[in-house]
Structure 1
């Protein structure tokens, strides 16, 4: 980056005995690459856009002093032919190496948008493939700091090469292999285009920065040529598009917040699919019973409640003061808050043990699961199952979204993916039916069949093939339509509802053992903590061992 001082040169004095001369040359090149040059157009552009330089990002992300770079002098040294002085060094556009996050080893790939806008011809394509292969073999998580095309070429390179080429998609095969084995978290920190966009979505967790990052298959100039749309980067692929359609999981306000979210996410995960998540010390007693839970579900069935408050009453109080969700006083780290909003997913802890949280939000579309909610469910359940994270499943599911918009969105097709994920999951699932379980969707969420799964219900439970009110309309349609006046029709409806009210009491279901147990909501945390302790001590080690025994088969991952 920075130009060398006049006293530094590549020749130096060789004592003819040791390798000090070579080490001096190595250190000179490394220092040049690692020193920012304010006059460099690429570096200046980063700063003008309010962005951190790539090495500042590494310092902000990783534990202090833990960065250990690989390929530190990858690039093109420019030497004066007459003096032998090192005039300039054009580094590779991507940095790779080992580091630590909260003490845990990770592998990092970080784009340098200051070098030819991140295009592949600004660096050595082999670094990405090498890095992700090393991470997979070492069994450690991968963190990607994406900023630029990260592998896409530039047409200018055709003239240099003298020919065009079939895209090689540098490192993609290795990325897919890594995806099946180790956690991958991606931060989008600028324009993320082409192959980088594919890598962003081929992650287990991704986060965008508002008004700083964009994602698209092709940038505005290519789009304008192909579709005649003249769009800015933000209008084409800004956060308000991709944080709402599920292309990325989360959105934040700064690069530093993005790094914290990655720390939080990886804090819950094991280093690879053959291990189980680590247990952290917790001062939150398993016996804690929250009085608020006895009344958090309204007696009037049409009324709403705050599902996130309910979650926070059940899971551990946060023991990590640096976490992005510490302000809530809870260990709950939500994933996908801005998309598929009928479903709420995230990671938390019960007595220090990581757990996946799956539930619905009755304040969005009444909680009926729509197409995006189905996609979100499948993605989250598959991720938990892949990394041996048990799931606490809080069911309040009135069914699939209905109507013309739901049909056009192929809700039932995506619903099948959600059901497949739930039914094929092998991690333990503790299901608590807190209110509704209606229709196919209600049955799928409330009845994940596996010998390792447990299910209980709250006295607020309400279930059936159809919601009672709509079902009465269908079953007694002729009788209701024959009513002489609207007032008479309303009375018939009320009388029918009264007849069914006693039948819908969840204790009637428990009498027939069609639900295993009705519990006091205040007992939910103690029961869940007992369940997860057994899961971590007995079930998860067996699950991880079976995966290790099948290591001869090439693992895959469902995106």
Structure 2
């Protein structure tokens, strides 16, 4: 006697689970331009590595004889697998079963995935396609009662952000808890045209607010990436999954391990002649900071996050001689690189990411200061900016700054932590002070200029005197800037720094999650 009858039943139930919401609903999913959850997981993970948990969970319908007649699986697929050989936990919504709503789910499956990532110390991937919340109000008639809202496993969602990399993709309409699951991550991506993310969808907005936006206007990819709710846009689902894999490639499995290094094909001693002339002599003219980054970082290694949000600040992951680093860089093409309220929030979040996972930080600085004006004040720039500076000072990872051009005001002072080794290299184009001459001159010499017979001539004379003493070499004479370097030497210096940074990180193995105080 064997257990073959039970194994046959197991095979039958697995087959029913793999039918998901049925042929019609699967066809409808494909017709909308979206993959099914099982197709997504297969494309995300290395071939043959997915080990599913909870495959048999769902709602069975039984006949009078007690035999299973039909089965509808729970609308979340969870399990473990590998990406580029590294272990991950994955949870994916099945939109073909009740549109991914929680009234068709078994919430323990979502909690199990969060707990598995937490306890096994493995990265978590969320593939979100649905509300994931309480479902429609029709569920009230089915249940016969209502309840006080709660979010199962939310404490794990919060804890995981301090322990393991968490990445999410919005792959369809994500509302309520589904939207919250997307943004409660270290990196998120949304698919253009076929995915949306919102607190509540258009029908609810129309009823409650009297507004009538369509889904794309309310929560499409462009809307949410510009708002900073989602980091990146993807052209299609394959692009979204590729971005999740790419992001994870820079991070360790958890905060107890150092980031993974790779063999570098780009020479560490590469010196780019273009860097000699890339910064204009006219301080009012912008230039392409991303081209600077391409010249000093490993070729093909850059992965930018949040390009549409806080655009005066560039944030990206990259490598130096094969070693992952976090990169901050001012973008003079937007507000001259000035730190806006949105850019401040972007800086805080990115520094937290790097500090949490011990990614050394490279900061390329062309900072004229906080953005000024009435709109800036209404946005609370000074509070959000100060919070960003505190985040930078609280970070304990190795940090190096390259002073490319402007370094002004309080925002400029936040380029590094002055209470410890403030390792920095300045280019000959360096231009710094408490205030730029352009605005500071009028404020400091207002009475003289108002009383002058020829204010323009006096202004030119004063500006000439000030320019005579603002040379970066005068700063170097006082050791107020430690080194002025040939811009072509930037990459070799940074590669050497990264090598030492990783030697230091090796000594921190086992330190675990960071502990921080409150920020303003």
> Could you tell me the TM-score, scaled by structure 2's length?
0.96
The structural deviation recorded for 1:506 is: 0.3
Q: Would you say the 8 A contact 1:74–1:123 is kept in 2?
A: no
Q: Distance in 2 between matches of 1:509 and 1:283?
A: 38
Q: Would you say the 8 A contact 1:125–1:151 is kept in 2?
A: no
Q: Distance in 1 between matches of 2:381 and 2:461?
A: 35
Q: Distance in 2 between matches of 1:403 and 1:216?
A: 31
Is 1:389–2:359 an aligned residue pair? Answer: yes
Name the SS of the counterpart of 2:90 in structure 1. strand
Q: Distance in 2 between matches of 1:135 and 1:556?
A: 26
Is 1:186–2:144 an aligned residue pair? Answer: no
Q: Would you say the 8 A contact 1:305–1:363 is kept in 2?
A: yes
Q: Would you say the 8 A contact 1:355–1:391 is kept in 2?
A: yes
Within the candidate set 464, 467, 470, 1:504 is matched to 470
Q: Distance in 2 between matches of 1:209 and 1:374?
A: 26
The one-character-per-residue Cα deviations of 1:284-328 (angstroms, maximum 9, x if unpaired) are: 1211111111111111111111000000100112xxxxxxxxxxx
Is 1:356–2:322 an aligned residue pair? Answer: no
The one-character-per-residue Cα deviations of 1:430-451 (angstroms, maximum 9, x if unpaired) are: 1111100101101112x32353
The one-character-per-residue Cα deviations of 1:232-254 (angstroms, maximum 9, x if unpaired) are: 22222112211001111111110
Partner of 1:419: 389
The 5 A counterparts of 1:215-234 are 215-234=197-216
- Paired residues in the alignment total 520
Partner of 1:259: 241
Q: Would you say the 8 A contact 1:96–1:128 is kept in 2?
A: yes
Within the candidate set 11, 29, 32, 1:27 is matched to 11
Q: Distance in 2 between matches of 1:437 and 1:192?
A: 41
Q: Distance in 1 between matches of 2:162 and 2:126?
A: 16
Q: Distance in 1 between matches of 2:322 and 2:53?
A: 35
Partner of 1:8: none
The 5 A counterparts of 1:78-227 are 78-81=61-64, 84=67, 86-227=68-209
The structural deviation recorded for 1:375 is: 0.4
Partner of 1:513: 479
Q: Check 1:28–1:129 CA distance in 2 against 1; reply closer, same or farther (3 A cut).
A: same
Name the SS of the counterpart of 2:389 in structure 1. helix
Q: Distance in 2 between matches of 1:305 and 1:185?
A: 33
Partner of 1:237: 219
Bigger shift: residues 180-189 or 149-158? 149-158
Q: Distance in 1 between matches of 2:418 and 2:469?
A: 26
Q: Distance in 2 between matches of 1:180 and 1:120?
A: 26
The structural deviation recorded for 1:160 is: 2.4
Name the SS of the counterpart of 1:354 in structure 2. strand
**Cα RMSD, aligned residues only:** 2.0
Q: Would you say the 8 A contact 1:428–1:453 is kept in 2?
A: no
Partner of 1:73: 56
The structural deviation recorded for 1:100 is: 0.9
The 5 A counterparts of 1:529-540 are 529-537=495-503, 539-540=504-505
The structural deviation recorded for 1:20 is: 0.8
The structural deviation recorded for 1:77 is: 2.4
Name the SS of the counterpart of 2:180 in structure 1. helix
Name the SS of the counterpart of 1:278 in structure 2. coil
Is 1:541–2:506 an aligned residue pair? Answer: yes
Q: Check 1:464–1:197 CA distance in 2 against 1; reply closer, same or farther (3 A cut).
A: same
Q: Distance in 2 between matches of 1:516 and 1:500?
A: 22
The structural deviation recorded for 1:213 is: 1.2
Q: Check 1:455–1:522 CA distance in 2 against 1; reply closer, same or farther (3 A cut).
A: same
Name the SS of the counterpart of 2:510 in structure 1. helix
The one-character-per-residue Cα deviations of 1:21-67 (angstroms, maximum 9, x if unpaired) are: 11111111112221467643x32331221111111111111111111
Q: Check 1:312–1:402 CA distance in 2 against 1; reply closer, same or farther (3 A cut).
A: same
Is 1:526–2:492 an aligned residue pair? Answer: yes
Q: Would you say the 8 A contact 2:174–2:198 is kept in 1?
A: yes
Is 1:344–2:314 an aligned residue pair? Answer: yes
Partner of 1:443: 413
The structural deviation recorded for 1:543 is: 3.4
Q: Distance in 1 between matches of 2:517 and 2:356?
A: 10
* Structure 2: tracts of 5 or more residues without a match: none
Q: Would you say the 8 A contact 2:365–2:403 is kept in 1?
A: yes
Moved over 6 A (4+): 555-558
Q: Check 1:281–1:528 CA distance in 2 against 1; reply closer, same or farther (3 A cut).
A: same
Q: Distance in 1 between matches of 2:472 and 2:66?
A: 88
> Could you tell me the TM-score, scaled by structure 1's length?
0.90
Q: Distance in 2 between matches of 1:45 and 1:187?
A: 20
Q: Distance in 2 between matches of 1:450 and 1:28?
A: 65
Is 1:63–2:29 an aligned residue pair? Answer: no
Bigger shift: residues 341-350 or 470-479? 470-479
The one-character-per-residue Cα deviations of 1:212-263 (angstroms, maximum 9, x if unpaired) are: 1111112222222221222322222112211001111111110100001001
Q: Distance in 1 between matches of 2:478 and 2:23?
A: 78
